[in-house]
A and B are shown apart, each in its own frame.
Chain A
């Protein structure tokens, strides 16, 4: 077994006993990236020198017997949406291609404090908007199980990096499924914590009431390890929850006695791939064999989740992304060209006798904003900004935005009622396995509907997790989703671990063309 095939929990023990150094481990990951990332495209930037420096420093401190953090010497890949001081945070957008953050996000700061090795920055859909990572302004990412297919998104780079064993751990963000969906499509574990469990300070905002940072790993134990390191109250994020972080790593191997599991009949409707359906049903049988009681629970408003989400998320996005104006930071379109074009437009209108229209052309500052945003944003980001601006505009606010917020409460109430009866809800994470690259790029609505099973957890703010539960005949992984009440991450992880301990789907890995 190669070192990169080991779980972070195993690696941590090997590092602690001195059987392995962080330099050796970091080199092994860098070699893996070197060999496979030209095909996979998981990383936007890898700073090998910095990673090796960090690893060497941790090895030295370990030799000297100094106390070390919980992730000491473990390489962690970070989605390119969390600020890391003095380095580029691009959000896979031309708008921020050169942006160097003047401060650390709380999550990156916690990773540094935990003595993790920050091995590289992973690809994503631009500003985390998308479900295939094809909306990156820089490169597509390919699924390690089949390079003609998507790894999912928006955290596709982080998921692919862990699935291809380029890093044992990675950080993603989940606004409507952006951790759980790629985890499912790449055959790994991915978790969205309760909204507020992990600080959003220094996370570049997409939809502030939905965004949440979370871990990717190859096992539930590793996800617990990473979650424990990044969680906690942060006075710099006023929506962060002021509750102590439980020791997930200490409880994860304790099975849940008398587990009551909820199954949502609506999750097995038309559109669910038969292979996914049978794997999820088989997983439910595994739980029954472990003593779980399975109960049907309705989530009657679940079918409105995608509609509510695609009003709320774009509305918040249109407001959050107003900051990209070409003034304070980031890209600005060629100003003299934009102003010359504006002057020419005006002249043309005057020459044609259209003086009223000539008076109505953009003011120079407005034109600068518009040219900058025209050239700086990709198609999907523009689409969502437009959708949000429309939903919030005069005359439509009540019909769309306010209506969606009311439906959001009903979705939350459904969960509250369901969790009175059951401890966890189990079901599919996606309707089908990884789709082909390019398959949905011209059909945004079809792409939005991919989020069917995942958006409700974001709207309700509850924690949810995806873990491997099968492989299709064509060799593509299938994910199982578990959802829990607010702040019940401990229960969620223990419940997931019960299934993992009884099955071996998490040990399956992509062959990457046979080259290991």
Chain B
């Protein structure tokens, strides 16, 4: 199935990406080509087939409810692009 430019723009917003005009054009072509190939799946009869989300279908793996040592605040903030020593800093969300 061919994707339109509008589809690609919408997905770029959902994916929190920005594309230049040129990228938008190539991406529309390339994604259409890839999705066109993937449409091959349509010819497989999958009636009554359970989806397989994982190679090892283990369920209910629980950890003991015990407090264990974890990262210090300093270590957790060490890689942040902006922080004030207590928390992460982001652009104002609720306006100035």
Which residues of chain A have a CB within 8 Å of any CB of chain B?
A: 98-100, 102-103, 194-196, 209-210, 235, 238-239, 241, 301, 304, 306-308, 310-311, 318, 322, 325-332, 335, 339, 363-371, 373-374, 377, 379, 382-383, 385-390, 393, 399-400, 402-410, 412, 444-445, 448, 458-461, 486
B-chain residues with CB within 8 Å of residue A327 when the two chains form the complex: 80-81, 88, 90
Nearest 6 pairs of A and B residues by beta carbon: A461-B55, A405-B51, A329-B79, A332-B81, A409-B52, A406-B46
Q: Once the chains bind, are A196 and B56 in contact (CB under 8 Å)?
A: yes
A-chain residues with CB within 8 Å of residue B51 when the two chains form the complex: 402, 405-406, 408-409
Q: Once the chains bind, are B81 and A390 in contact (CB under 8 Å)?
A: no
Q: List 26 A-B contacts (CB under 8 A).
A: A98-B79, A99-B79, A100-B78, A102-B75, A194-B56, A239-B56, A239-B58, A327-B80, A327-B88, A329-B81, A330-B79, A330-B81, A365-B93, A374-B17, A387-B31, A389-B15, A400-B38, A402-B51, A403-B41, A407-B44, A409-B49, A409-B50, A409-B52, A445-B37, A461-B54, A486-B56
Q: How far is the CA of A99 from the CA of B75 in the complex (A)?
A: 12
A-chain residues with CB within 8 Å of residue B34 when the two chains form the complex: 310, 387, 444-445, 448
From B11, B33, B80, give the contact of A328 (CB < 8 A). Answer: B80
Interface of A is mostly: helix
Q: How far is the CA of A407 from the CA of B53 in the complex (A)?
A: 11
Q: How far is the CA of A367 from the CA of B58 in the complex (A)?
A: 39
Q: How far is the CA of A239 from the CA of B79 in the complex (A)?
A: 27
Q: How far is the CA of A195 from the CA of B56 in the complex (A)?
A: 7
Known interface pairs A102-B75, A239-B56; A373-B17 also in contact (CB < 8 Å): yes
Least CB distance, B29 to chain A, in whole angstroms:
10
Least CB distance, A449 to chain B, in whole angstroms:
8
A-chain residues with CB within 8 Å of residue B44 when the two chains form the complex: 301, 304, 403, 406-407, 410
A-chain residues with CB within 8 Å of residue B90 when the two chains form the complex: 327, 365, 368
Known contacts A335-B91, A386-B15; 15 further A-B pairs (Cβ under 8 A): A102-B71, A194-B56, A209-B55, A308-B41, A327-B90, A329-B79, A329-B80, A330-B79, A365-B93, A367-B91, A373-B17, A403-B41, A404-B38, A405-B51, A409-B51
Least CB distance, A488 to chain B, in whole angstroms:
14
Least CB distance, B7 to chain A, in whole angstroms:
7
Q: Once the chains bind, are A209 and B53 in contact (CB under 8 Å)?
A: yes
Q: Once the chains bind, are B78 and A102 in contact (CB under 8 Å)?
A: yes
A-chain residues with CB within 8 Å of residue B17 when the two chains form the complex: 370, 373-374, 377, 382, 385-386
Q: How far is the CA of A194 from the CA of B92 in the complex (A)?
A: 46
Q: How far is the CA of A485 from the CA of B90 in the complex (A)?
A: 49
